[in-house]
Amino acid sequence: MRKPAYKDFIRNGNVRARLAQFTVDELHVADEWGVEFRVEFQDIPTMRAWLPPHTTFVGLSATIEPGRQFGSCTKLMAFQPGFHVEKQDCEHRDITMIVRPIKYTSSGLEFRDLDWTVPLDLTKASDVAKLLIFVQSIDGGHRLVLYLRSLLPPHLQNDAHRLIRHHHSLACPDCKTEGLDSLYKLGDDRDCLIHVSTDVLTVGVDIPGLATVISYGKMTSASGVQQQAGRPARERGSTGKAYIYVTKADMVDALAYIKSDTGKLDKRVLTAKDPTSHVRAPVVPEDSTEGTGDAVDTAGSAAAHPQAEGALTSTTQSVTVPKKSKKLKAVTAAPGVVAKPGARTCSSLLLIFAAASRGLCVIRQTNMIYGNPGVDRDCGRCSSCIGDSVLEPRPKPTRSADGEQEIVDPAAEKVPAYMKPQLKDLKAVTEKLEASARVIQWSQPHGPDALLIGARIFLPPSVITAITTDFFLITSEEIFRCRVRDWKYAEDYTQALWNVTKVIVADLSKQLKTRHEEALEKQRDARVHNRKLCQEGANPWVR
């Protein structure tokens, strides 16, 4: 819209006579991304001045929340007083939403919570339903892709790049085209098992045959989660699943919010189960209060609209439970606040997480947030209503699992104590290895994905620890290779890393010998000095 060619286009008389409607689809994105990520969205109101007066402005979205986000979107569209509102139900009745806590750390190259996505008996991509995993960053997506590819059976490793695809903005045009083509393949024609992407695939694309979606990692808004969860089951009569993996920190924040003074005033909080709506035995909430659901302002799932008074309420019951002794940090987010990029999680999303944590219906809580009709009964299909069976991750490979033993040079057992490095020496070795990681990485031919791998990801602390533990025992390349055989990049970079380590070992050995010789020299000088004092008749031990 900023380009002169566009301005010239809408100045044309024939064009202006035919400009009947100006529509912004996925309007919630303009609010969430327009502050820092896509600041160009803030120029939307200026279109009022450029378009003819008879042009109708329309905003479309399925996940605009009542309150602040609704007001922001109507202001962004520069709606005039008396504009029309059409509210529709945005509940996904064909999708099972499953909320799971993240049990295992994922800051490095392991994502053990997602081991189940790559079956052990996999033979081809079409053996399992099409799967899309949403991550929060390109770097996180790249690390996840590397991990999932490592789980593929040996006979599929050669096709790992095709079976596990990463959709991101840094890919070359050919890779982007090839990746999008694979999204639309169905049945036996499918050549991709898992697609990994950021929010770029949450809007503007309908993926056929998509059965399962996973949202993994830090999330900041309820609308973002709802958009991701709405990707599967796009065909009429189909069903799908949406897995929401929540960090422990978000779960703690969610429980802290509903216990805070602000949370107690938030009447959108779901406080009790509906025991008649499903067969599962009711679960006593962790901490609930009496009350009813608040009258919810309707939000636009079609055209954006003013805050209308609704009359939707939820039936609740009083439950008394013992309070936990664990102290939760205070959360002061205001009801209805939607987080900006980089900000804390919005209160609406905290309500969803809190409902899942307390065993309350996730869909019913979502309906209370968005003003959908289904606020008086549990859905009977979310993880809180029907339960969730979590598969255990694959066992970590051990050194004894493949029958290999640590190779030790027999002569190393006779290494004198002074040749064993101290903690300060090992710290210096670690710093040298970390400093050499980037040089080692770029010493071999590489593809564009190498831009996404940081030095600590390429050579993680676990590998450095494996090298520096009993560092004095590394006396040959064979021993070194045994130390780093679990390294993800061992096949391509072990030789380069050994060349660096070999120099470090030699330098440290010289340093330790020099230090020992200096210590012996000081001892000799001390003995000579003491002997001289004795000859002079003085006591060398009395100062």
Condensed to tens digits (0 to 9), the pLDDT of residues 375-406 reads 888 998 999 999 888 888 888 755 444 444 44
CA distance 163 to 159: 6
- Taking residue 104's Cβ as centre, other Cβ atoms within 10 Å add up to 11
Half-sphere exposure of 419 (CA within 13 A, CB side): 15
Q: Which of 278, 458, 251 is nearest to 357 (CA)?
A: 251
Of 344 and 104, the one with more pLDDT: 104
Residue type, 360: L
pLDDT band at 449 (very low <50, low <70, confident <90, very high): low
CA distance 477 to 479: 5
Sequence ranges of the domains in the chain: 4-76, 410-528
Residue 385: predicted pLDDT: 92
State the helix-helix crossing angle for 461-468 and 423-441, rounded to 10 degrees: 130
Q: How far apart are the first and last CA of the chain?
A: 88
Given a cut of 70, whether residue 130 has pLDDT beyond it is yes
- In terms of C-beta density within 10 A (0-12 exposed, 13-18 middle, 19 or more buried), how is residue 434 classed? middle
Given a cut of 50, whether residue 72 has pLDDT beyond it is yes
Given a cut of 90, whether residue 118 has pLDDT beyond it is yes
Residue 212: predicted pLDDT: 94
Lowest mean pLDDT among 246-250, 344-348, 536-540: 536-540
User: What average pLDDT does this structure show over 321-339?
Assistant: 46
Tokens for 332, please give them.
């002061």
Residue 447: predicted pLDDT: 60
Verdict on whether the full-model pTM lies above 0.85:
no
